[in-house]
Amino acid sequence: MRLARLARFCYRRRRATLAGWIVGTIAVMALGFGFAAEPLNDFSGGGSDAAKASDLLDEHFAQRNGDSITLAVRAEGGITDPGVKARVERAIDRLGKTPHVASVSSPYEAPGQISRDGKTAFATGGLDISSDDMPREDVIALLDDVRTDSGPVRIQLGGSAVDAAETPGGGPSEGIGVLAAVVILLVAFGSVLAMGLPIVTALFGIGTGLALIMLLGHLLPAPAFSPIVAALIGLGVGIDYALFIVTRHREEMHAGADPEEAAVTAVTTAGRAVLFAGTTVVIALMGLFVMQQKLLNGVAVAAGVAVLMTMLASVTLLPALLGFAGHAIDRLRVPGLGRARRPLADRWARVVQAHPVAAGLCAAAVLLVLAVPALSMRLSLPDSSTQPHDHSGYRASRIMAEGFGPGTAAPLVIVTEGGGLAEAGRIADAVRGTPGVAAVQPPRPSRDGKAAIVMAFPKTGPQDERTPGLVHTLRDDVIPGAVAGTGARAYVGGPNAASIDFAESVSTRLPLLIAVVVGLSLLLLVGLVRSVTVAVQAALMNLLSIAAAYGVLTAVVQWGWAGSALGFPTDMPVTTWVPLMMFPILFGLSMDYEVFLVSRIRETYEEGVETREAVALGLSRTARVITAAAAIMVMVFLSVLLGADVAVKQMGLGLGVAILIDATIVRLVLVPALMELFGEANWWLPGPLRRVLPSRPARAAEAERPSVPASAG
């Protein structure tokens, strides 16, 4: 068996293997972080109206996709007061001198930028690059020079560029996740040395994976959150995969095997399950390609590369590290930790098996109740109104909402082409008379005279469910009527419209993503466990646990249940890409535990143990390690709640809740209950598949021992 030969080679050539990983990691990280590609954060791709508007803005205007920085002013003494005016004009001049600000619209020159009570005003600085590409240091310098929130005049800055600058990625969460993993592994193993092996293996895999992601960005651009998501997944699965193998290695040694044979057996059993589980995660991630969004393709590849590198480290680097540990793997023990709890897991399995119908119904009922809130899930992208309340972006949005209404944070950029300024004015008049529109600025022509921009402000904010309805009314009824017979074309774009289009694209294509991911994962699992019944059970249980996670996420983020306690500044819709990314990731990760548990049950069954006993033994032998693995993932994912990015926090919350549900309700209740009910039917495999998938005992590989000199280690 190739896996056995690989494990034996890495074990015996452990010095060369370790040196290769060290040199390779240093080289890849030097290249990756030294020549990293710039992120791409444009969610308006495809053939949507917002994408067409963005293309016209690129072609005819210096301003990119309507992205801008808003300078919001509140003066109780009146905006036109000479002292106030001088102060505001200095701030506007500073805004205009900021790099990449192509144009500035002053409230003292442009109509409609001073509120009716004369106490609120705003200036707009149009950017010649996207907000996400705006250099953070330039925005921070502008904030330091202009922002003030005390005295008779309050000046705040808002817009996507400001939000991005005030919410930097990264932070302490990854370090906290690693620290939590150290504690959990120490409790599980009771040995400092055994605890360190999964951590070291995972860090090598993540380091090389992140560096490769930076390089691949030149071929397949990905958004800025991709490395964070990839690091979360890589850290979780990397530690878990190594944990599975180290656990099996220690079991074999405790049963009397020498360290080399224990390592080979661990890789050919638990390692084989790891490869199948990791491949399932990668295949599930590749399902994002069906969304036909270039940005999501980049995310899928980035996360997939991180998983692949942790898989590679688990079956090559880890056997080498086990070789260095040898008989000393259980040394440096911590008193009182690492004791087996197999009798408790065995008793639990038999309790579930004694009452399979009641246990299964109760577990399913809990999952369905948790999933109910997901029926009301709304999707949107975060904006200034969802930021922490001490941020300038949030305070600017409050100033604008109080002076002009909440719709000033959701401007619609209507771009016209093929008609003159008169046609653009006709469109502006039609939009102005539409219910739900608060204000419309006069058309602004392009320098070449071939296009024009009409800025419209809804009465509702970007997170309000009525705003998408207004966008559709403008696109379907108002604008087509206004341009009829003129030869002009007009598209409703801007960040708010792009967010709406992206959310609707996700809702439309998500069923296809689910079908592709579930179908491919079923095929893979049938190949591993040689059972159609078990594979279908796994798919249905995974769908239930993911639906429950969606429900909890909706209740916390959108309904506000414990939202403030978990670090969400306000109630908000679920970020558009979060449920989309959660599904393939969770389906793949859920298969990890299914593969590890069921493959152990199958292994026991093929040794001649009847199904009922095999299920009990398989659960008792894996419950401890699955619990530890799940605890690590939950802590890694939930650690991002300490960060500032609300979208990433939603992602971490959803993933953490789903893993917790999967490792408890699903693996410890539903799996033994269903397998008890199905009995020998668990192993049903149609004749054609049986011939295509020949049986092979899990331990058969131990007989294959290539002659590699033992002295090489």
* One domain, residues 615 and 473: no
Mean pLDDT by 10 residues, the chain (713 residues): 91 96 96 85 71 85 70 94 94 95 90 90 88 88 91 90 80 72 83 89 93 90 83 86 90 91 93 86 87 82 93 96 91 63 72 93 96 93 85 93 86 88 91 92 87 91 89 94 88 88 85 87 81 90 93 96 90 90 84 79 86 87 83 88 86 93 89 91 86 57 40 39
Task: Assess if residue 646 is contained within a domain.
Answer: yes
| Cβ count near 464 (within 10 Å) | 19
- Nearest to residue 371, comparing CAs of 547, 546, 580? 547
- Encoded tokens for 239: 């530690």
Instruction: Encode 19-35 in three state secondary structure.
Output: HHHHHHHHHHHHHHHHC
Separation between Cα atoms, residue 635 and residue 387, nearest integer Å = 24
* One domain, residues 180 and 317: yes
Separation between Cα atoms, residue 424 and residue 247, nearest integer Å = 69
User: What DSSP string runs through 113-125?
Assistant: -B-TTSSEEEEEE
State the DSSP code for 458: E
* One domain, residues 183 and 290: yes
* One domain, residues 260 and 302: yes
User: What DSSP string runs through 67-89?
Assistant: -EEEEEEEETT-TTSHHHHHHHH
Q: Return all residues near 592 (Cβ < 8 A) that are at least 6 apart.
A: 237, 240, 277, 278, 280, 281, 629
SS3 126: strand
CATH number of the domain residue 623 falls in: 1.20.1640.10
Place of tokens 């390592």: 263
Please report the pLDDT score of residue 226 as a whole number. 85
Separation between Cα atoms, residue 493 and residue 484, nearest integer Å = 20
| Cβ count near 290 (within 10 Å) | 16
Task: Assess if residue 78 is contained within a domain.
Answer: yes
* One domain, residues 430 and 364: no
Separation between Cα atoms, residue 105 and residue 264, nearest integer Å = 69
* One domain, residues 625 and 564: yes
CATH number of the domain residue 453 falls in: 3.30.70
Q: Do residues 329 and 251 lie in contact, with contact meaning Cβ atoms separated by under 8 Å?
A: no
14-34 helix and 192-216 helix, angle to the nearest 10 degrees: 40
* One domain, residues 378 and 519: yes
* One domain, residues 489 and 547: no
- Nearest to residue 3, comparing CAs of 267, 242, 276? 267
State the Cα angle at 414 between 413 and 418, rounded to 5°: 140
Report in angstroms the alpha-carbon separations of 670 from 589, 599, 617.
17, 16, 16
Separation between Cα atoms, residue 518 and residue 537, nearest integer Å = 12
Per the structure, the count of domains in the chain is: 4
Separation between Cα atoms, residue 711 and residue 426, nearest integer Å = 86
Place of tokens 């298969």: 591
Q: Return all residues near 158 (Cβ < 8 A) that are at least 6 apart.
A: 69, 70, 72, 384, 392, 393, 395, 396, 397, 400, 409
* One domain, residues 531 and 598: yes
Among the three residues 469, 493, 517, which one is the final residue of a domain in this structure? 493
- In the sheet that holds 120-127, the strands lie side by side as 101-105, 120-127, 68-75, 153-158
* One domain, residues 232 and 320: yes
Q: In the chain, helix, strand, coil percent, each to 5? A: 65, 10, 25
SS3 452: strand
What burial class does residue 680 get, using C-beta atoms within 10 Å of its C-beta: 0-12 exposed, 13-18 middle, 19+ buried?
exposed
Domain that holds residue 149: 67-166
Q: Where are the alpha helices (DSSP H) in 374-494?
A: 392-404, 421-432, 466-473, 479-483
Task: Assess if residue 308 is contained within a domain.
Answer: yes
Among the three residues 144, 166, 188, which one is the final residue of a domain in this structure? 166
| Cβ count near 654 (within 10 Å) | 28
Task: Assess if residue 396 is contained within a domain.
Answer: no
- Encoded tokens for 264: 């080979």
* One domain, residues 664 and 605: yes
Report in angstroms the alpha-carbon separations of 664 from 116, 522, 586, 623.
58, 22, 15, 10
Q: Do residues 281 and 307 lie in contact, with contact meaning Cβ atoms separated by under 8 Å?
A: yes
Q: Do residues 434 and 460 lie in contact, with contact meaning Cβ atoms separated by under 8 Å?
A: no
- Encoded tokens for 415: 């771009």
Task: Assess if residue 393 is contained within a domain.
Answer: no
Please report the pLDDT score of residue 65 as a whole number. 52
Task: Assess if residue 303 is contained within a domain.
Answer: yes
Task: Assess if residue 403 is contained within a domain.
Answer: no
State the Cα angle at 26 between 235 and 213, rounded to 5°: 50
Separation between Cα atoms, residue 243 and residue 626, nearest integer Å = 9
- Nearest to residue 126, comparing CAs of 504, 502, 453? 453
Q: Return all residues near 23 (Cβ < 8 A) that are at least 6 apart.
A: none
* Chain center to CA of 702: 39
Alpha carbons within 13 A on the beta-carbon side of 381? 21
- Nearest to residue 193, comparing CAs of 133, 249, 120? 249
Please report the pLDDT score of residue 339 as a whole number. 55
- Nearest to residue 396, comparing CAs of 95, 135, 50? 95
* One domain, residues 475 and 538: no
Separation between Cα atoms, residue 655 and residue 636, nearest integer Å = 10
Task: Assess if residue 199 is contained within a domain.
Answer: yes
Backbone angles phi, psi at 582, to 5 degrees: -60, -40
Among the three residues 467, 493, 519, which one is the final residue of a domain in this structure? 493
- Encoded tokens for 478: 């108002």
Separation between Cα atoms, residue 546 and residue 658, nearest integer Å = 6
